[in-house]
Structure 1
Amino acid sequence: MAQRNFGNTSGMALGTLISRITGVVRDIVLVASIGTGIFSDTYSVANSLPNIIYILIAGGAINAVFIPVLVRRMNDDPDQGKAFSDRLITLVALVLGSVVIFSMALAPQITNLYTTSSWSQRDLYVASIFTLWCLPQIFFYGMYTLFSQVLNARNVFVAPMFAPIINNLIVIATSLTFLSLHQNQPTTTSVTNTQIGLLGFGTTLGVVVQAAILIPTLKRQGYSWRPRFDFRHTGLGQVGNLARWTIGFVFVNQISFLVLSNLATYANVITTNNNGISTGFTSYQKAQLMMMLPHSIITVSIITALLPRLSRQSHHHDLVRFGHEMANTARLVIGLIVPCAMLLFIAGPLLGQLMYGHGASSQGQGQAVGQIASMFALGLPAFSMFYLLLRSYYAQENTKTPFFLNLAFNIGHLAIGVSLFAAVDTRFKVAALGFGYSAAYTATALVTWKLVSRRFSEMTQARIPVHVFKSIAASAAAAAVSWAVHVTLSMVMKSASIPSLIIDLAVMGLVFVATYLIVAQNMRVISISDLRGFRRVT
């Protein structure tokens, strides 16, 4: 059993690492193929819609209610949850299949809802065709989620972690094929229907294979799906009561996304008409992903290991230990995430040039993506802390408070982002949306911190605000030293070639990390033992 657990853990870690690497490569190749102009926005918005609709219709319910019930039924039922799994997959397949058909019939209207009215008829047509190609992903996202959870309940974790890698590889191959067919910067008027179909088909094929590749593993585990339609009195109806706040949480996020996608696509029209550097929805999306990478590697890894302990302590009403766990985790997350945010803030434009400044894009467009990422970096520590603090509510089965906190964040994000968007110069409109995101998360995280601290005095005793200040000070010192090194290197190399960017970023990163570790240890922000603890977690 110990060997099997070790194999699962090692396989999951390897799968996660490869998935993240191939995901970054996928984004780099995709932007090199489609650029960051209006054409790229038609693709990016269309490819976002299936995920949005899936999460809105079923994702919240599946994750909040159905999956916990599924795991319990697999442990308690004589048939190891076989009948329940069959009913659940049948129900979700019927719902999502119907949603796909309905949404495909309304593809132009749905696309129009999420995009600026300043688009030309051709822009909207191309986006609508992409949407038609991408909408079937809704069904396969649901199937992948359910197949993964059925396997996880049977202690099979590796296959679901590796499946997204196949998806990434298919999208990479599709993007390279498109690049070979359309080597100039593509526009909505220069691409053919065949080229649009290639991108749309390849993108959706990746999601199809991601789900389908789990079927052989399910069969090897002794599970074969058989459609069942006897849904009454089986426990599936709990979703209405148990998941309503989670569904509301998701709904609020989607309203915010709708407004932001309209603004970002409009910003790209303005910059294109003014012959400026294209920055729009694609730029916003890729910049946000740059910010999310350290969060997913560090914060999510730490909290994934923490959640089972929090749930046990909550179940046994051991609130003192619960508070200590939260405080210690907060200190570790802050000590690791604050320097990542500072490094991304100063190196964002260079990193954007390296990742997104080639092919159908340009160095100026890549740099613009990096500048937006720098704005997102300002809110990264708050985002990670908010993510951690919400888990204290979820561990105690409280989904109501997170809903209202998330509502406050979205109101703040829209209020700040829209105001700045209207006020700043065309070049900085999308960056203003990123700054609004950071400012709103900072305010929301502070409020959430106050609320959680009232419930757990251990959080106050841990002097987290002092720890944050020390982390910022140590990170600022590291940033000053690494920036001085960057300025020196820039004078020596005098070019922005790929090798120069790699050398510049590598040296900056090494100097930053070394300086931060020295200063942080002297200020008692973080220690080598903390880093070893994080290594064990991941």
Structure 2
Amino acid sequence: MNLLRAASTVSLLTLVSRITGLVREQAVAAAFGASALTDAFNVAFRLPNLLRRLFAEGAFSQAFVPLLAACRAQEGDESTHRLIDAVATVLFWVLIATSLLGVLAAPGLVWLIASGLKEAGSFDAAVAMTRIMFPYIACMSLVALSAGVLNTWKRFAVPAATPVLLNASVIGAALYGLPLFERLGWPPVHALAVGVMVGGVLQLAVQGPALARLGLMPRLGLRPATLAAAWRHEGVRRIFRAMGPALLGVSVAQISLLINTQIATQLGAGAVSWLTYADRLMEFPTALLGVALGVVLLPQLAAAQAGGDGGRYAGLLDWGLRLVLMLALPCAVALLVFPEALVAVLYHRGAFAAEDVAQTVRALQGYGFGLLGLVALKVLTPGFYAKGDLRTPVKVAVGVLLLTQLLNLVFVPRLGHAGLALSIGVAALVNAGALLIGLWRRGSWQPQPGWGRFGLQVLAGSAGLGLALDQAARRLDWIALGQQEGLRTAWLAGVLLAAGLGYLALLAGLGLRLRAFARRG
């Protein structure tokens, strides 16, 4: 198959997903602003989303997909289908039990990660929405199973497109469900929780036809004897054994997120929401650059490692790191010097007031400080994985988790919620630096000639871009321009386009040959 075409398809659909994700946050911000109720929704959504990242898209996928691919290659499609049936049966019953437990334990779970909501008066709302949304983890775990099967059969489009359905569902809930709930006398914010559940069901529903076309629709065992037989399947046991180490690696970042959520709820109403809105905007460049680099670079690193070509391996890492510096540094500069315009154009409307813009800007600048590290991790971590080293990134991540909390002790009393974002940013830079040093000491990466000149060129170009954006930030009142929404959006698009083209032109003028990045592959 054409890997470049597949990578382009996944990247394009990821772009659509991120755009609709921003629109989703815009709709929520316009309807509810940043308040105790939006804090409650974000906390409630964070619980099933946390389990999704830990299990569905984390430990389960990392354990299931390699075993599935090996089973198909070594034992054929019939044996693979039996494995799918057994895994789906066990997963289905485990998810039923987990969903029931989550609904019953919702008050304790919310208190565990967001006890500060009691003082804000939105604790009960968070519990109610947790109960509505908790079965979302069941939908997404089954979606992860389906996506693993489809990707193994090289059907990448459907799994990559499904997140758009969640975003569309929540947007619909904010626009149409909210007034409906008001007419019915129900809490309007609960419409968002219902939108999440509808989105989860839609994501699961679209997997069915794609699996059916391949003849791989799982046959669920609904009788106790069938469940017992599925549990005894050797493939199921191997998956559960493999999930342990994978779960450790995935859980580090999620533990940090839980701790930060608990701290944020102690900082007053709106803090969780400001961080969430800033995080969504910060993730846009992170996800786009990360997906492009991950899809293109990791298979080539694995191939170089398998072929014993250490020179090519080191060269690929060097290429990826240069690309990170050239693309992520100007993005970080934009988040640091031009955040008000970005936040105002995206969120400043409806219930999202000028004060919410200011507070979200503070969080965004904290995240922006570490953007270069966050993107660099998308190159550095695969550098270890391609060599079969899963332990080193986990060890570093544990150390970074401890560092993040120490930084919180320093930054949060002085900066409030923005201190949480800054701690994450600083820790990301430390994480990336530690992994880079590790690859260098092992000889996996050796700086290629020309790094000094290249670094100065990118720094000069980023400085020029920063000066231009700073002038645009000072000369235009981005809050007042909200009276003319179309004009404000046009100004933002024009400034960003001019700054981006100016950055590339400045690099070219400094002698950086951009075409050189397209030659390695």
What's the TM-score, normalizing by structure 2? 0.91
1:39 aligns with 2:37: yes
1:199 aligns with 2:192: yes
Distance 1:198 1:292, change over 3 A: closer
Correspondence list, 1:47-446, <5 A: 47-57=45-55, 59-80=57-78, 81-117=80-116, 119-120=118-119, 122-180=121-179, 193-228=186-221, 229=227, 230=229, 231-232=231-232, 234-239=234-239, 241-269=241-269, 279-422=270-413, 424=414, 428-446=415-433
Residue identity opposite 1:48 in structure 2? R
C-alpha contact 1:38 1:265 (8 A) present in aligned 2:
no
The Cα shift of 1:25 comes to 0.9
The Cα shift of 1:529 comes to 4.9
Distance 1:465 1:56, change over 3 A: farther
| Deviation readout 1:328-368 (Å, 9 max, x if unpaired) | 11111211111111112222111111111111211321232
Distance 1:348 1:182, change over 3 A: farther
Q: Which residue of 2 aligns with 1:187?
A: none
Residue identity opposite 2:218 in structure 1? W
Identify the match of residue 20 of structure 2 among 19, 22, 28: 22
- Most deviating of 22-31 and 480-489: 480-489
The Cα shift of 1:399 comes to 1.1
C-alpha contact 1:357 1:367 (8 A) present in aligned 2:
no
| Deviation readout 1:475-532 (Å, 9 max, x if unpaired) | 11211123224434459x97443234323322321232122112222445561453x6
Residue identity opposite 2:198 in structure 1? L
Residue identity opposite 1:140 in structure 2? C
The Cα shift of 1:268 comes to 2.6
Q: Which residue of 1 aligns with 2:224?
A: none
Distance 1:55 1:97, change over 3 A: farther
- Most deviating of 332-341 and 252-261: 252-261
C-alpha contact 2:297 2:379 (8 A) present in aligned 1:
no
Q: How many residues align?
A: 512
Q: Which residue of 1 aligns with 2:502?
A: 515
Q: Partner of 2:446: helix, strand, or coil?
A: helix
The Cα shift of 1:295 comes to 1.6
| Deviation readout 1:54-105 (Å, 9 max, x if unpaired) | 3335543212211111122123323351001111112222222211111111
| Deviation readout 1:441-482 (Å, 9 max, x if unpaired) | 112211211111112364333565764454233211211123
- CA distance, structure 2, for counterparts of residue 411 and residue 437 of structure 1: 11
C-alpha contact 2:178 2:188 (8 A) present in aligned 1:
no
C-alpha contact 1:420 1:433 (8 A) present in aligned 2:
yes
The Cα shift of 1:252 comes to 2.3
- CA distance, structure 2, for counterparts of residue 180 and residue 533 of structure 1: 54
Distance 1:263 1:466, change over 3 A: farther
| Deviation readout 1:132-161 (Å, 9 max, x if unpaired) | 001000101101111111112222121222
Residue identity opposite 1:99 in structure 2? T
C-alpha contact 1:356 1:363 (8 A) present in aligned 2:
no
C-alpha contact 2:370 2:424 (8 A) present in aligned 1:
yes
Q: Partner of 2:338: helix, strand, or coil?
A: helix
Q: Partner of 1:156: helix, strand, or coil?
A: coil
The Cα shift of 1:241 comes to 5.0
| Deviation readout 1:359-397 (Å, 9 max, x if unpaired) | 121132123213311221111111111231111111112
- CA distance, structure 1, for counterparts of residue 37 and residue 449 of structure 2: 50
The Cα shift of 1:233 comes to 5.0
C-alpha contact 1:168 1:206 (8 A) present in aligned 2:
yes
The Cα shift of 1:289 comes to 1.7
- CA distance, structure 1, for counterparts of residue 436 and residue 107 of structure 2: 43
Residue identity opposite 1:125 in structure 2? D
Q: Partner of 1:119: helix, strand, or coil?
A: helix
Distance 1:90 1:436, change over 3 A: same
Distance 1:499 1:55, change over 3 A: closer
Distance 1:295 1:141, change over 3 A: same
- CA distance, structure 1, for counterparts of residue 106 and residue 250 of structure 2: 21
- CA distance, structure 2, for counterparts of residue 138 and residue 416 of structure 1: 32
Q: Which residue of 2 aligns with 1:275?
A: none
- CA distance, structure 2, for counterparts of residue 202 and residue 135 of structure 1: 13
The Cα shift of 1:32 comes to 1.1
- List runs of 5+ in structure 2 lacking aligned partners: 222-226
C-alpha contact 2:313 2:444 (8 A) present in aligned 1:
no
- List runs of 5+ in structure 1 lacking aligned partners: 184-190, 270-278
Residue identity opposite 1:73 in structure 2? C
| Deviation readout 1:253-311 (Å, 9 max, x if unpaired) | 23222221012122234xxxxxxxxx411211221121111121123212211111111
- CA distance, structure 1, for counterparts of residue 133 and residue 300 of structure 2: 39
The Cα shift of 1:192 comes to 5.5
Identify the match of residue 474 of structure 2 among 487, 491, 495: 487
Identify the match of residue 448 of structure 1 among 415, 428, 435: 435
- CA distance, structure 2, for counterparts of residue 421 and residue 458 of structure 1: 36
Q: Partner of 1:195: helix, strand, or coil?
A: coil
Distance 1:380 1:76, change over 3 A: same
Q: Partner of 2:216: helix, strand, or coil?
A: coil
- CA distance, structure 2, for counterparts of residue 457 and residue 194 of structure 1: 56
Residue identity opposite 1:204 in structure 2? M
C-alpha contact 1:310 1:325 (8 A) present in aligned 2:
yes
- CA distance, structure 2, for counterparts of residue 369 and residue 67 of structure 1: 38
Correspondence list, 1:488-507, <5 A: 488-490=475-477, 495-497=481-483, 498-507=485-494
- CA distance, structure 2, for counterparts of residue 388 and residue 89 of structure 1: 33
